[in-house]
């Protein structure tokens, strides 16, 4: 039997103990708020909790509720967000962001719970098949390996967040993932629940109605929705631009 590591007055803990015994919600703990972010207009951001995916991890992020840098190509967008001290979401972070929104328990940058109506509106903007064209760049470029030894190799280039908050460009082999176009499509929830460490759908992603273009040499990633469908596009042309195509300029939560 070990002693507690902090002094705790046992008086008044009976209710908490009862709840633990019965598996009930503990009084006062049902809606724990994250700490507010030190940022201007915090309620225009959502707090995406940091995650660890195998050897890849990232800290708590602030993801804006809307896209900016519209009508810019991939490189312009990337340079723009970096210059303002922000970052472009990687496919892994984007998959986590969508899963977070679909989970329903979302907090804005001030630490306040976001009401379900607002979450639905954000998801609608991202996913619903309708006009107009809405799209956002993701931080991933794909390339064919230079020296095919036994079989063709593929790389992904993206940016990791270092412990001091700066970005590090990383090029690494593309992990095993779905390497066929699915038109349509892949099951969104399966992708979000089983995405690879790099954020792409797994090889055995179950079928659904989200279009999927698999990685091609020189292409970049993005997510698109319009009247023709919603799609995860890993065959994006980095030079393209559109009035509806932008980026979520995310920030590290501090």
Partner 1 sequence: MSNLTEQQKVQTLYKIIGDRGFYVSSNFDVFTKQPEEVSLAAGAGYKIHLAQLDSKVYASPLLFATLTSLLHHGTMLITGAPGIGKTTGAEFAGHFFSNTPLDEILAAEIQGHPQLTEEKMVASFDLGKLVSSGERVVIPNRFLECPVKILDEGNRTPPDVLSIIMRLVDTGKAVYGGQLLTANPGPLFVTANYADEGTFHFTPPFLDRFDVAVMVTSPQPWDLTRIRERGDEKLNGNGKSLERLLEVPSDLKLDTDKIRKEIKAMNPEVKHEVDEVGSFADFLYASLRYSEAASHSLVRATKGNAWQVDQDNAPAGHFTDSPFNYTVNELSVRTAKALQRYARAYAWLNGKDQVELEDVKAVAPYLLWHKLQPTSKALAENSVYANDRIDFVRDLIGKVEAEHAEMMGSEAKNIYGAALGILRTGKHKGKNLDPDQLRTVAKNAIRKLGDVDKPYAIMLASHVAAEYNSRINGTQ
**Applying CB under 8 A, which residues contact partner 1?**
1-10, 12-14, 16-21, 23, 26, 28-29, 32, 34, 49-52, 55-60, 160-165, 168, 252-254
Contact 97, 191 (CB under 8 A): no
Q: Which is nearer to partner 1, 203 or 254 (CB)?
A: 254
Q: For residue 17, how far is the Cα from the chain centroid?
A: 37
Please state, in angstroms and as integers, the Cα–Cα distance from residue 54 to each residue in 58, 99, 158, 197, 205, following that order. Answer: 11, 18, 16, 7, 19
Rounded to an integer, what distance in angstroms lies between the CA atom of residue 41 and that of residue 245? 23
Q: Which is nearer to partner 1, 38 or 40 (CB)?
A: 38
Token output for 203:
């090889």
Q: Which is nearer to partner 1, 47 or 247 (CB)?
A: 47
DSSP code for 196: -
Minimum separation from the CB atom of position 57 to partner 1 (A)? 5
Rounded to an integer, what distance in angstroms lies between the CA atom of residue 33 and that of residue 109? 11
Q: Which is nearer to partner 1, 94 or 212 (CB)?
A: 94
Rounded to an integer, what distance in angstroms lies between the CA atom of residue 31 and that of residue 43? 18
Minimum separation from the CB atom of position 192 to partner 1 (A)? 19
Minimum separation from the CB atom of position 173 to partner 1 (A)? 17
Rounded to an integer, what distance in angstroms lies between the CA atom of residue 104 and that of residue 96? 13
Minimum separation from the CB atom of position 190 to partner 1 (A)? 24
Minimum separation from the CB atom of position 163 to partner 1 (A)? 5
Rounded to an integer, what distance in angstroms lies between the CA atom of residue 161 and that of residue 49? 14
Token output for 253:
């939560």
Q: Which is nearer to partner 1, 51 or 102 (CB)?
A: 51
């Amino acid at each position: 039997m070990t002693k507690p590591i902090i002094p705790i007055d046992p008086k008044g803990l009976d209710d908490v103990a009862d709840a633990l015994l019965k598996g009930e919600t503990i009084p006062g703990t049902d809606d724990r708020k994250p700490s507010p972010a030190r940022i201007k207009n915090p309620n225009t951001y959502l707090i995406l909790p940091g995650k660890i995916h195998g050897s890849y991890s990232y800290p708590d992020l602030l993801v804006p509720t809307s896209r900016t840098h519209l009508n810019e190509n991939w490189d312009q967008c990337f340079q723009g967000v970096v210059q303002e001290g922000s970052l472009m979401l990687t496919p892994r972070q984007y998959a986590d962001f969508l899963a977070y929104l679909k989970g329903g328990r979302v907090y804005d940058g001030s630490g306040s719970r976001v009401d379900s109506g607002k979450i639905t509106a954000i998801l609608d903007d991202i996913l619903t098949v309708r006009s107009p064209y809405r799209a956002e760049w993701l931080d991933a470029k794909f390339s064919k390996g230079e020296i095919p030894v036994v079989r063709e190799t593929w790389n992904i280039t993206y940016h990791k967040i270092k412990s001091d908050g700066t970005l590090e460009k990383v090029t690494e082999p593309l992990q095993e993932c779905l390497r066929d176009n699915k038109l349509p499509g892949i099951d969104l929830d399966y992708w979000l629940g089983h995405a690879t460490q790099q954020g792409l759908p797994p090889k055995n992603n179950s079928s659904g109605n989200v279009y999927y273009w698999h990685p091609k040499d020189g292409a970049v990633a993005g997510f698109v929705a319009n009247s023709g469908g919603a799609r995860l596009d890993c065959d994006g042309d980095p030079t393209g631009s559109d009035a509806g195509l932008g980026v979520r300029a995310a920030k590290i939560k501090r």
